[in-house]
A and B are shown apart, each in its own frame.
Chain A
Amino acid sequence: MSETVADVSALIVQTLLANPKVPRDINGSSKIVEDLAFDSLAVMNFVMEIEDSLDVSVPLDRLADIRTIDDLAACIVSLKQAS
């Protein structure tokens, strides 16, 4: 049993929407820094929440290549498959 990119992406959106400051109209192609107005620390803190929901660690160097929510979902799925 394994999550698809779409599953993980949906879970990320759901986690983000729990924060009232996040715009309501986000989806998988939303850009994390630009569309969500997250600074570097906010990005790392939100990734930590996702890590706990999915029991996976996302190394910080991988975050540099991630722009959108779908990018993050794809990264998490590949990390879970590798482990």
Chain B
Amino acid sequence: MSIFSKYDGLARSLAAVTADGGRNPFAVVIDRPLSSTVGLIEGRETLLFGTNNYLGLSQSEAAIEAAIAAARTHGVGTTGSRIANGTQGLHRQLEERIATYFQRRHCMVFSTGYQANLGMISALAGKDDYLLLDADSHASIYDGSRLGHAQVIRFRHNDPEDLRKRLRRLDGTPGAKLIVVEGIYSMMGDVVPMAEFAAVKREAGAWLLADEAHSFGVMGTHGRGVAEADGVEGDVDFVVGTFSKSLGTVGGYCVSDHDGLDLIRLCSRPYMFTASLPPEIIAATMAALDEMGRRPELRHTLMDNARRLHAGLNAAGLRTGPQASPVVSVILDEVDQAVRFWNRLLDLGVYVNLSLPPATPDQHPLLRTSVMATHTPAQIDRAIEIFATVAREFGLMRPAAVTAS
């Protein structure tokens, strides 16, 4: 028996997706980006609406120059882990810059955002502790809960009352309770009611960790995320996030006012047993952070663009998530229809993400788009037009939209 035979079902699902000559949606190659918003795919200029590059900073001139300069002075890699030979002055500088940006006392930087969640959650919640996770948590949060030894309890998505009920069941049990929520949920783009969760946390004497991966640089007056927007940063014990979305590079971080954070450096395996971030990435990240702080208009344009895309897709008769946020997902019913829709979008020059259950909430396939501050109104309108064209081809227009068009 083959070691791969347990994946026979997966192989059949993939074969079904690529039947009728469709592409493998999980193996799309962007030959190269021509700008933050246009990439070369299959030799054609394609509008990028699925890169999480919210502020377009992956193509920042300042970040590119900083990376080149750092590579010249520091080389291209550290060849070591943070606790051995992999901490350079640049790592400390980056940690100070991130801590200052968030107005927090401490910061730890990780090699990826995935590792930041894995490393913080597994190390913070120990054997006698409880982890309370939102049902729609990202895989990195679930994986962090499996790497650690805490008891893991799941509460209904974005439902503070449900969390309150589950915390009440733990009344009288010893052990710390760590609540984990996300700022913006990556599949549907819905925003956490952070103030309400903060209230539940205070009542229960629990700890709160917020993953602001998709909301850093996007929400709040200074881009510090939903906690800032809701005015409850003081209740969030740990903020985790990534550099690979709004800052356009790679890497993860955790900021906190708790002095204990320094001890986590000595017990978080995903922090300790991997190579640290290379110098050119750190330099680019610091330059992008400067640019993000200097140009608040990027955030305003991003939200204007998000509203334009969300409204346009709805007006075209498509069903989306409830809120206009930089993640706008079109919700479909059948997987094979979603696969064909996604292929047609790419044929016509728009790249989005195809997200399939069980990675999506409620078993629905999604055409997940992410908006950028650098998209022009014309690019957004073009994408909406192409979505509407394909929806018409598929007979998916809702009746009101058909008569209106």
Q: Inside 8 A of A61's CB, which chain B residues have their CB?
A: 146, 151-152
The CA of A80 and the CA of B153, in the complex, are separated in Å by 15
Query: Which of B145, B166, B170, B363 is within 8 Å of A60, CB to CB?
Result: B145
A81 at the interface (CB under 8 A from B): no
B154 within 8 A of A: yes
Please report the C-alpha to C-alpha distance between residue A58 and residue B135 in the assembled complex, in whole angstroms.
14
Query: Is A22 an interface residue when CB atoms closer than 8 A count as contact?
Result: no
CA gap between A41 and B135 in the complex, in Å: 9
Of the listed stretches A8-16, A42-50, A69-77, chain B binds A42-50
Q: Is A2 an interface residue (CB 8 A)?
A: no
A55 to B165, CA, bound (A): 9
- Is the C-beta of A39 less than 8 angstroms from some C-beta in chain B? yes
- Given known A39-B358, A44-B135, contact A60–B154 (CB-CB < 8 A): yes
Interface size class of B (residues with CB under 8 A): 10 to 19
Contacts of B344-384 to chain A: CB distance below 8 A? 357-358, 363
A53 to chain B, nearest CB (A): 13
Asked if A59 lies at the interface with its beta carbon under 8 angstroms from chain B, I say yes
Contact A45 B153 (CB under 8 A): no
Using CB atoms, name the residue of chain B closest to A38: B358
- Main SS class of interface, A: helix
In the assembly, what is the distance between CA of A45 and CA of B361, in Å? 10
Interface status of B169 (Cβ within 8 A of chain A)? yes
Closest residue on chain A to residue B170 by CB atoms: A57
**Nearest-CB residue, chain A, relative to B153:** A57
Q: How many residues of A contact B (CB 8 A)?
A: 14
Residues of B within 8 A of A60 (CB): 145, 152-154
Instruction: Pick from A45, A56, A59: contact of B135, CB below 8 A.
Output: A45
Residue of B whose beta carbon sits closest to that of A43: B358
Q: Check if B169 sits within 8 Å of A39, measured CB to CB.
A: no
A residues near B92, Cβ cutoff 8 Å: none
Determine the residue in chain A with the shortest Cβ distance to B149: A61
Question: Given the complex of chains A and B, what is the CA–CA distance between A15 and B145 in angstroms?
Answer: 28
The answer on a CB contact under 8 Å between A48 and B156 is: yes
Asked if A41 contacts B166 (CB within 8 A), the reply is no
Across the two chains, which residue of chain B brings its CB closest to A79? B169
> Which residue of A40, A60, A83 has the most chain B CB atoms within 10 A of its CB atom?
A60
Give me 28 A-to-B residue pairs in the complex whose CB atoms sit less than 8 angstroms apart, sorted by A's number: A39-B358, A40-B358, A41-B357, A41-B358, A41-B363, A42-B363, A44-B135, A44-B154, A45-B135, A48-B135, A48-B154, A48-B156, A55-B169, A56-B169, A57-B153, A57-B166, A57-B169, A57-B170, A59-B151, A59-B152, A60-B145, A60-B152, A60-B153, A60-B154, A61-B146, A61-B151, A61-B152, A83-B169
Q: Which residues of B does A touch, CB under 8 Å?
A: 135, 145-146, 151-154, 156, 166, 169-170, 357-358, 363
Residues of chain A touching chain B, judged by Cβ–Cβ distance below 8 Å, are 39-42, 44-45, 48, 55-57, 59-61, 83
- Lowest 5 A-B CB distances belong to which pairs? A41-B358, A59-B151, A60-B152, A39-B358, A57-B153
Q: Beyond A39-B358, A48-B156, list 12 extra A-B contacts (CB 8 Å).
A: A41-B363, A42-B358, A42-B363, A48-B154, A55-B169, A57-B153, A57-B166, A57-B169, A60-B152, A60-B154, A61-B146, A61-B151
